[in-house]
A = this chain, B = another copy of it.
Amino acid sequence: MMEEIQLQDISIDSFFEKYELKFKAIADKKRLQIMNILTQKGAMCVCDLAPLVDMAQSKLSYHLKILLEANIITKETRGTWSYYELNQEELNHLLSHELCCVFKPFC
């Protein structure tokens, strides 16, 4: 019984942690701008994205990693290039329909 309650607590706790991670990822002006650009342009590599968001490469890679680890975007490597794309499915689970067109693709 004790264990049951504890398990419940642990699971609700990790549930909140999961959403903390996701909301934290999108809780940033620059990362929202990145999402907005990916909404409009589809998949992009770091070197093409960098000038659009006016960011140094290492800084952009840092922000992309945050979004990637929250599953907000996906990554596909081709040669030396890394192509990043919005994860539409994930965003649909997360955001209101209203936020389509701005932070979600094809809505």
A17 CB-CB contact with B under 8 Å: yes
A92 contacts which chain B residues (CB < 8 A)?
96
Instruction: Give residues 6-40 of A contacting B (CB, 8 Å).
Output: 13, 15-17, 19-20, 23-24, 26-29, 32-33, 36
Q: Give chain A's interface secondary structure class.
A: helix
How many Å from the CB of A32 to the closest CB on chain B?
Answer: 5
A98 contacts which chain B residues (CB < 8 A)?
93
A27 contacts which chain B residues (CB < 8 A)?
20, 23-24, 26-27
Size of the chain A interface, CB-CB below 8 angstroms: 25
Which of B32, B36, B96, B102 has a CB less than 8 Å from the CB of A96? B96
Docked complex Cα distance between A50 and B19 (Å): 22
Q: Given A95-B94, A95-B96, A96-B95, A23–B26 Cβ distance below 8 Å?
A: yes
CB <8 Å contact, B20 and A23? no
Chain A positions near chain B (C-beta within 8 angstroms):
13, 15-17, 19-20, 23-24, 26-29, 32-33, 36, 92-99, 102-103
